[in-house]
Amino acid sequence: MSNPVSLAGNWNYPTAIRFGAGRIKELAEACGAAGIARPLLVTDPGLSKLPMIGAAVELCRKAGLGIDKFDGVKSNPVAKNVEDGLAVLRRGKHDGVIAFGGGSALDTGKVIAFMAGQTRPMWDFEDIGDWWTRADEKGIAPVVAVPTTAGTGSETGRAGVITDEASHTKKIIFHPKMMPRVVIADPELTLGLPPKVTAATGMDAFAHCLEAYCAPFFHPYADGIALEGMRLVKEYLPRAVADGKDIAARAHMLAASQMGSTAFQKGLGAIHSLSHPVGAVLDTHHGLTNAVVMPYVLRFNEAAIAEKIARLARYLGLAKPGFAGFLDWVLELRRTIGIPHTLAELGVKPDHLERFSAMASEDPTASGNPVKAGVPEMRRMYEAALAGRL
């Protein structure tokens, strides 16, 4: 068992990360390091009411920072959330953002900071080709990120996912300088996370590592990070779900989450392609949806990834080797932590599949799938996930 006292460090890959229990006390100092004197703290309405947010605001005020708060963030953030936050930022003449919360708050905070000095519409910076070069880099405000869940790893990512309500489509807004300047990774902030949320966010971290590892591109760094991230999830996610006060499990899951978002610079795949339309239309939890569709995508990709998955199974020390052993382990992990087996349990109906399949085939993550997947292939995976057929 790991000694929690040893789970601390100062990291600079992929950005400056202040990792360890109690390090939220360094928030004002981190703002100074990022060049922020008047931060806008961006969070969600549920978290906004908790003592940790009040304590963070007080820390900053005592340090003389001109802090204000914006908490108009949905669980699947939409363009209006960014627009409203941007108005608060500009009105208060804030020079940076503290993105504080789960993936939704982190993504929204990062996009607000990115848009702070832009003159073009947000959708002009969607992650398509070289659209990111349209941005005025001098107009990007700095971000300090404070994650309270171990899932998306948005604190170490260069993009934000925002839903276009007009088309009910999740879109990725990307720029290399959207990476937060400083991350406060304090596992104590994740201790109150309920078991179901812990399970769903943890499986999101696992999906990021798994899809990055399987993506058909050359990136040995990402492969290595993804492998170790998956090992951490295997060892510590069941512990974190079973005992929410297990600080060592929480710390390792926080690291695994950041490793997932670092690794998926290499690419994602059909797990995310299938998940995005479901979340955009039905407002399901992103990590939970990823976890539900995961085994069906694995089965679809089997011929292309079997050798890599066999190596992964050996690294994880699974009792049963090879692709079959890994798939069995994924199914058992899902059962253990309470993940539903089918999309039907998330409210997906047969009538959704035509629309979802078209949306999934156009999702930017589809290009990273190990097996080419267009509308018919996406439909086949949706049908399997709806029926629970492997």
Structure tokens at 142: 């700095």
Do 94 and 151 lie in a common domain?
Answer: yes
Tell me which residue of 260, 261, 279, 258 sits closest to 162, measured CA to CA: 279
**Final residue belonging to a domain, choices 145, 171, 189:** 189
Do 137 and 167 lie in a common domain?
Answer: yes
User: What is the three-class DSSP state of 368?
Assistant: helix
Contact 247, 21 (CB under 8 A): yes
CATH assignment at residue 120: 3.40.50.1970
Do 136 and 199 lie in a common domain?
Answer: no
Tens of pLDDT, residue by residue over 323-337, are 999 999 999 999 999
Confidence category of residue 1, pLDDT binned at 50, 70, 90: very low
Can you tell me the mean pLDDT for 237-258?
A: 97
Residue 315 CA: distances (Å) to CA of 183, 226, 229, 234, 235: 29, 11, 11, 11, 12
Do 8 and 117 lie in a common domain?
Answer: yes
Tens of pLDDT, residue by residue over 12-31, are 679 999 999 999 999 999 99
Unique residue bearing structure tokens 């409203």: 84
Do 69 and 141 lie in a common domain?
Answer: yes
Do 114 and 202 lie in a common domain?
Answer: no
Do 53 and 15 lie in a common domain?
Answer: yes
Tens of pLDDT, residue by residue over 131-144, are 999 999 999 999 99
| Percentage of residues of the chain with pLDDT beyond 70 | 98
| pLDDT (0 to 100) of residue 143 | 98
Q: DSSP for 118-145?
A: --S-GGGGBSSTTGGGGS-GGGPPPEEE
Q: What amino acid is encoded at 307 in this protein?
A: E
Do 225 and 319 lie in a common domain?
Answer: yes
Residue 348 CA: distances (Å) to CA of 121, 212, 284: 32, 26, 10
User: What is the three-class DSSP state of 303?
Assistant: helix
Do 184 and 225 lie in a common domain?
Answer: no
Do 272 and 352 lie in a common domain?
Answer: yes
Do 15 and 78 lie in a common domain?
Answer: yes
Q: What amino acid is encoded at 242 in this protein?
A: A
**Final residue belonging to a domain, choices 141, 168, 189:** 189
Do 42 and 143 lie in a common domain?
Answer: yes
Residue 168 scores a pLDDT above 90: no
Confidence category of residue 5, pLDDT binned at 50, 70, 90: low
Could you give the residue ranges of the DSSP H alpha helices within the chain? 27-33, 45-48, 51-62, 79-91, 103-115, 195-214, 220-242, 247-263, 270-282, 286-316, 322-337, 353-362, 375-387
More confident residue, 147 or 5: 147
| pLDDT (0 to 100) of residue 374 | 98
Tell me which residue of 175, 140, 184, 147 sits closest to 25, measured CA to CA: 184
CATH assignment at residue 270: 1.20.1090.10
The count of domains in the chain is 2
- What is the residue-averaged pLDDT of the chain? 96
Confidence category of residue 3, pLDDT binned at 50, 70, 90: low
Kindly give, in sequence order, each residue whose CB lies less than 8 Å from that of residue 131, ignoring residues fewer than 6 positions away: 124, 125, 174
Q: Which domain holds residue 375?
A: 193-387
Tens of pLDDT, residue by residue over 48-74, are 999 999 999 999 999 999 999 999 999
Tens of pLDDT, residue by residue over 74-115, are 999 999 999 999 999 999 999 999 999 999 999 999 999 999
Residue 178 CA: distances (Å) to CA of 27, 53, 150, 173, 342: 19, 23, 20, 9, 35
DSSP 338: T
Alpha carbon of residue 89 to chain centroid: 24
| pLDDT (0 to 100) of residue 360 | 98
Q: DSSP for 21-81?
A: TTGGGGHHHHHHHTT-SSEEEE--HHHHTSHHHHHHHHHHHHTT---EEE----SS-BHHH
pTM of this prediction?
0.94
**Final residue belonging to a domain, choices 146, 165, 189:** 189
